[in-house]
Structure 1
């Protein structure tokens, strides 16, 4: 009986995110040093201590058996989250992820729009995926009448829904409004036969600088990726040089390369 109990505890521990698991997956000894974390398809059902990764910016939990997202509420700088193919029924805890920009929650148990209310206050949210046709992943609410229009109304700041751009800078509507605004500014205000004069003083319909491109936000995710790539490239160069030296020494030892000075003419 004791042996069975121990095995059950070990099995439960294996389905829970622990500090040991995070350190083994990332090579980091300090959980707050983890910036990117991939825990895809491990059969996880409990997020455990993932909330202690205070500086985590990119998290992939897809293909597990997660039902509750509570620990994610403390991840204030999390920018990219993939929880597709899990058993999540509400996104309420994500209200604490104030830096969230991209969310993939396709293939879960979200059955009503009220379960998405936790996303309403996320000012940086730009992309939401609840349905993934390529992977045949969806949520019950995706079959609701007027699903896309309701999503657009709930999240007016979101630019991409289920992989399709719906609004924001770069969209067709945005470019059309930009062209219209430019045309209005060029409209002649006075003089000339057949030219309509504007009555009163015209005011811009958007704030100055609205059409200007916003500076790209620096992301420590990209910085970390570049750093890791540079280190890997440098290591490859060192290994290549070491291999060349070893081959040269071996050839000399085996006398494969003839020494021209040994020839007698």
Structure 2
């Protein structure tokens, strides 16, 4: 006779219990019973201020801690396999522990309190680091260091292997493509106006069908995470497009008002 042991469900952790990262929280969020089995982890906007036992997730590859109250990154020093790290919108002033994250490729620390270029020197030994974000105009995130007039030039000189800084590609074919697209876009916009008036083109159709950009779901965890990141980028693009449209509209309205002849009461 075989006895069937009941499978105990993982404890449910409410957001109110998430100020400190615990093994219970990590297992509840990921469904993993072993912390070393966790590869991807998202603890976004949970009010976390103590990273607790997070350093025990030694095989962690992608980590999102954005929108919390984190100040101390010491537990992250043991995450040697970490490649993507999002620490945006926290209260971080020192990123010194990240010098040990030798696999780090993509780092987002926008929306913190990093005050000087010297605070970034600890990242100099990270040979795989290609993407750094210290400010994000989409969400109005920045750092005090970004106010330095020579900030961009100094950072690029400090990290010659960087390919993307603050969301803008700085080297390689991607930057050439970006400039080419920008030139084409400017040319198209110029052709939409004649004598300062917008020309209507009723026969214009979209290049692709409406469903072209829809993302098909997958059961593969890695592909699923890639889809999530791509959707985040699309969301940022939509926000930027809406903001640009609003600014252009305001500018055109302002210019039209300036061109109107002044009327005097007789």
Residues 39 and 112 (structure 1), Cα distance of their counterparts in 2 relative to 1, 3 Å cut: same
**Separation in 2 of the partners of 1:117 and 1:160?**
18
Aligned partners of 1:96, 1:40: CA distance in 2, in Å?
23
Partner of 1:56: 60
2:168 alignment partner in structure 1: 164
Q: Distance in 2 between matches of 1:228 and 1:97?
A: 21
Relative distance call for 1:43 and 1:228 in structure 2 (3 A) is: closer
Between Structure 1 and Structure 2, whose CA radius of gyration is higher? Answer: 1
CA contact (8 A) 1:107 1:130 kept: yes
For each residue in 1:216-255, what CA deviation from the matched residue of structure 2 results, as whole angstroms up to 9, or x when unmatched? xxxxxx96324899xxxxxxxxxxxxxxxxxxxxxxxxxx
1:43 aligns with 2:47: yes
Q: Structure 2 matches for 1:164-183, cutoff 5 A?
A: 164-168=168-172, 170-172=174-176
Q: CA deviation at 1:145?
A: 1.6
Aligned residue number for residue 221 of structure 2: 224
Contact 1:44 1:65 in 2 (8 A): yes
Instruction: Report SS of the residue matched to 1:171.
Output: helix
Question: Contact (CA 8 Å) 2:20, 2:48: kept in 1 or not?
Answer: yes
Q: Matches of residues 184-223 of structure 1 in structure 2 within 5 Å?
A: none
Q: CA deviation at 1:171?
A: 3.3
Structure 2 residue 157 is the aligned partner of structure 1 residue 153:
yes
Deviation at 1:168?
A: 3.6
| Residue 110 (1) aligns with residue 114 (2) | yes
CA shift at 1:77, angstroms? 0.5
Deviation at 1:101, TM superposition (A): 0.4
Superposition CA RMSD, Å: 2.5
Structure 1 pair 12/96, CA: closer, same or farther in 2 (3 Å)? Answer: farther
Q: Secondary structure at the match of 2:55?
A: helix
Question: 1:117 deviation in Å?
Answer: 1.2
The answer to whether the 8 Å contact 1:158/1:168 transfers is: no
1:43 offset after TM fit, Å? 0.3
> Counterparts of 1:11-30 in structure 2 under 5 Å?
14-30=18-34
Distance in 2, Cα, partners of 1:115 & 1:42:
26
Matched residues in 2 for 1:49 and 1:116: separation? Answer: 25
Preserved contact between residue 50 and residue 72 of structure 1 (Cα < 8 Å): yes
Gapped runs of 5+ residues in structure 2? 1-14, 178-218, 227-266
Indicate conservation of the 8 Å contact 2:117/2:151, yes or no. Answer: no
Q: TM-score, normalised by structure 2?
A: 0.61
Q: Which residue of 123, 131, 138 maps to 1:134?
A: 138
* In 2, Cα distance between equivalents of 1:94 and 1:27: 27
CA apart distance, 1:118: 1.5
Matched, 1:74 2:78: yes
Aligned length: 172
Aligned pair in 2 of structure 1 residues 227, 156: CA closer, same or farther (>3 Å)? Answer: closer
The structural deviation recorded for 1:169 is: 5.2
Give the match's secondary structure for 1:134.
coil
